[in-house]
Amino acid sequence: MLSILLVPALNDNYIYLLHEPNSGKTAVVDPAVSAPVLDALQQQDWQLDYIFNTHHHGDHVGANLQLKQQTGCQIVGSAADQARIPGIDISVGNGDVVKLGNLAFQVIDTPGHTLGHIVYYSAESQALFCGDTLFSLGCGRLFEGSAEQMWQSLQKLKTLPAETRVYCAHEYTAANGRFALSVDADNLQLRQRIAEVYELRQQNLPTLPSTIDQELATNPFFRAHDASIRANIGMTEQTDVAVFSQLRLLKDQFQ
């Protein structure tokens, strides 16, 4: 069974250490900085074998070279972003499989936040490491890709099994919840989720992982088809992509 250790970093980043006990292999997902990763490895007595990068932004690849130098690990990242991911050794794309010991992770292309964004999904462990594509109650900003691209990327993630645990790269859930409530105020499950989130944050506890099932019920960026959301933003007749695009614009402007 995969061991997953959540390592907080910077202001609101989450780095994930993944350990496959049968082989003793360990990977880190999106290491922003090296010190907390090295500390956690030492505490667990794990050796780092791989870095799994979801995209090229500095708060996801910042520790790549230092960790590689200190541990000899190999760096996995998108073939589309080879030039922008420091120290990349293994280039992957949609449908490729990355192994951590005997455990397989499927690579899924999810352009939108960046053009080369990928996510890592383990069916056996029921775990998705989705970087900045999908957040709990939100999704990533469109820095490089289009709304159409991000919408299609989210459609891929919506089809994963409902019990899949969602490990995204930032603690944005409370802020995302405030926006979600502004467009989906009648959603009882959303209100319950936000109450749980506030309670966790008051105790300085992470709100992750979420699940695909939770996101389908409460994340407005998964719910562009919803009649109530459409009515609330005055877009009852438009396409799902158009509604999604407007939601993303409203979120960008939300205070």
Active site residues: 55, 57, 59-60, 113, 132, 170
* Contact of 22 with 101, CB cutoff 8 Å: yes
Residue 213 assigned to a binding site: no
Q: Is 132 annotated as a binding residue?
A: yes
57 is in an annotated binding site: yes
**Among candidates 100, 10, 99, which has minimal Cα distance to 57?**
10
Annotated binding site for Zn(2+): 55, 57, 59-60, 113, 132, 170
| Residue ranges at the known binding site | 55, 57, 59-60, 113, 132, 170
